[in-house]
């Protein structure tokens, strides 16, 4: 059985869609294994998005993630890593379908409401990074 790391980004917390996002995951049948509202230290944001360090939008990305509290979660269930990505919708707003979280809430590529691990390796890395070895 798989676990994945899901984070409601600062725009989602501000817009009060945390409850809706938890509801969508619960309705799908996934189990919440950990959750916390936190102000993200810069070092944690940089480590989380380390794969994008060389991208032109990296500075903006770190600014955004540290701009207000995020709601970090670990969800467990059958194929949850891939299914969560489908529930989230595409990164680009013109590609995220209505009915998905981003398709319902986001119109910009940078303020796109939610993050979810993109592979088993990312999920393991991100769960340890945000919640420590206990949950991984
Ligand atoms: P995450 O779940 O946040 O990792 O999103 P993703 O996996 O759908 O996309 P990716 O990992 O490729 O990019 C990480 C984040 O960087 C995205 O969610 C966007 O917020 C941001 N991002 C990606 N591409 C761009 C871009 O071209 N411009 C800007 N400003 N931000 C971008
Ligand atoms: Mg990503």
- Per-position pLDDT tens, the chain of length 136: 999 999 999 999 999 999 999 999 999 999 999 999 999 999 999 999 999 999 999 999 999 999 999 999 999 999 999 999 999 999 999 999 999 999 999 999 999 999 999 999 999 999 999 999 878 6
What spacing in Å lies between the alpha carbon of 7 and ligand 1's midpoint?
13
Active site residue 52: no
Q: For strand 31-38 and strand 114-116, is the pairing parallel, antiparallel, or unpaired?
A: unpaired
Residue with structure tokens 């817009």? 15
Ligand 1 neighbours, Cβ below 6 Å, are: 52, 57, 60-61, 91, 109-110, 112, 115-116, 118
Residues paired with 8 in a beta bridge: 71, 114
The SS3 of residue 68 is coil
Q: Compute CA 86 distance to the chain's CA centroid, rounded to the nearest angstrom.
A: 12
User: Which helix (H) or strand (E) segment is 77 a member of?
Assistant: strand 70-77
Q: What is the structure's pLDDT at 134?
A: 79
Q: Which two tokens stand for residue 84?
A: 């969560």
Q: What is the structure's pLDDT at 52?
A: 96
Residues paired with 42 in a beta bridge: none
Q: What is the structure's pLDDT at 133?
A: 85
- Which is the catalytic residue, given 115, 116, 126, 127? 115
Q: What is the structure's pLDDT at 136?
A: 66
């Amino acid at each position: 059985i798989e676990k994945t790391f899901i984070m409601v980004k600062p725009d989602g917390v501000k817009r009060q869609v945390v409850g809706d996002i938890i509801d969508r995951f619960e309705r799908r049948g996934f189990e919440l294994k950990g959750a916390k509202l936190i102000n993200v230290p810069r070092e944690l944001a940089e480590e989380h998005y380390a794969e994008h360090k060389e991208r032109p939008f990296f500075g903006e990305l770190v600014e955004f993630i540290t701009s207000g509290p995020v709601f970090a979660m670990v969800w467990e269930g059958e194929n949850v890593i891939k299914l969560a990505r489908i529930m989230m919708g595409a990164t680009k707003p013109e590609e995220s379908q209505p009915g998905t979280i981003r398709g319902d809430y986001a119109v910009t590529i940078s303020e796109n409401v939610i993050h979810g691990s993109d592979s088993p390796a990312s999920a393991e890395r991100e769960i340890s990074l945000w919640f420590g070895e206990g949950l991984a």
